[in-house]
């Protein structure tokens, strides 16, 4: 029997991720809070639905990737939410970076209704979404992960099963903690090179191939040099992620001073009106602090 796929959330990353599945020949039903953002997918052959509940009624496997935990809660548990009409035997896959506790809650409710769920947040930004090279870290039941794996392969290259429900979200928190402090290093490095009079592209080319090389300097560094602060991943969403990580760390009696410092820098970005820029917009904050 042919699988019918559902997709909720067609923003910066979701649209490209859904398109990969659509291009593979699957029938897809889509919903997005702003209908216009789903138009390209509908033009490609996806079927528009008026709310998450309608998507759930039509789907064997349903993917969601929205903005914040409260959006996840509304999509799954709201008046017209997925769990109001989920089909027996269906699989729900939340790819939003969200709270591990919420992932476990959805898992338990879905289980009672005869459905299954995975938390499968991603990393790689808009470039990874467009190129189908995302990192996908998944939590839930292994046999369900195995069933969804062929669809994950259409969206990512670094795909891993991390353990029980919530484990995918905890892995993503580890990812975001590392990126948070790394971005401070990237920005300060480029500000230093700028002040010293170096050619920034040449600096990136050299240090990006050495011990300091990382995804952020090699992919976001050139955008900073070009003055391109468009979001591959929004500052406001990164602040959300860091907040979740700090909350989880507090619950574990774990001190993360580096993350706390990075969080404050990004809060400053919001205060300056930069919340809708990409995470590389941190450059503008520290440049302003230094009168550059």
Between CA 230 and CA 226 the distance in angstroms is 11
Residue 196 burial (CB < 10 Å; 0-12/13-18/19+)? exposed
Q: How many helices (H) and strands (E) does the chain have?
A: 14, 9
Set 172, 247, 250, 284: catalytic member: 172
Q: Which residues of 134-153 are buried (b: 16+ CB within 10 A; e: fewer)?
A: bbbbbbbbeebbebbeebbe
Active site residue 111: no
Tell me how far apart the alpha carbons of residues 205 and 213 are, in angstroms, rounded to a whole number: 9
Q: What tokens does 185 get?
A: 């290093």
CA 186 to chain centre: 21
Which structure tokens are listed for 57? 């009624």
Tokens of 224: 């900073």
The rounded distance, in Å, linking the Cα atoms of 31 and 24 is: 19
CA dist 57 → 45, 85, 263, 288 (Å): 19, 6, 40, 51
The catalytic residue positions are 172
């Amino acid at each position: 029997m042919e699988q019918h796929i559902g997709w909720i959330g067609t923003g910066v990353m979701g649209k490209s991720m859904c398109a990969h599945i659509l291009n593979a020949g699957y029938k897809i039903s889509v919903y997005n809070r702003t209908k216009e953002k789903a138009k390209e997918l509908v033009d490609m052959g996806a079927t528009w639905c008026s709310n998450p509940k309608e998507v759930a009624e039509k789907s064997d496997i349903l993917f969601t990737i929205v903005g914040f935990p409260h959006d996840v809660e509304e999509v799954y548990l709201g008046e017209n939410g997925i769990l109001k009409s989920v089909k027996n035997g269906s699989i729900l896959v939340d790819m939003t970076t969200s709270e591990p506790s919420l992932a476990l809650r959805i898992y338990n409710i879905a289980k009672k209704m005869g459905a299954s769920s995975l938390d499968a947040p991603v990393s790689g930004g808009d470039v990874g979404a467009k190129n189908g090279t995302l990192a996908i870290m998944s939590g839930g039941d292994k046999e369900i992960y195995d069933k969804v794996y062929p669809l994950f392969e259409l969206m990512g290259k670094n795909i891993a099963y991390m353990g029980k429900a919530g484990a995918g979200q905890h892995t993503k928190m580890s990812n975001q903690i590392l990126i948070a402090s790394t971005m401070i290093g990237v920005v300060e490095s480029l500000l230093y090179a700028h002040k010293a009079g170096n050619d920034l592209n040449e600096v990136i080319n050299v240090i990006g191939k050495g011990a300091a090389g990382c995804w952020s300097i090699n992919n976001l560094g050139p955008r900073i040099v070009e003055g391109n602060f468009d979001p591959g991943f929004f500052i406001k969403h990164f602040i959300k992620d860091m907040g979740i990580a700090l909350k989880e760390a507090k619950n574990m009696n774990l001190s993360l001073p580096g993350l706390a410092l990075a969080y404050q820098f990004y809060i400053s970005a919001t205060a300056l009106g930069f919340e809708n820029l990409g995470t590389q917009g941190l450059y503008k904050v520290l440049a302003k602090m230094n009168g550059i």
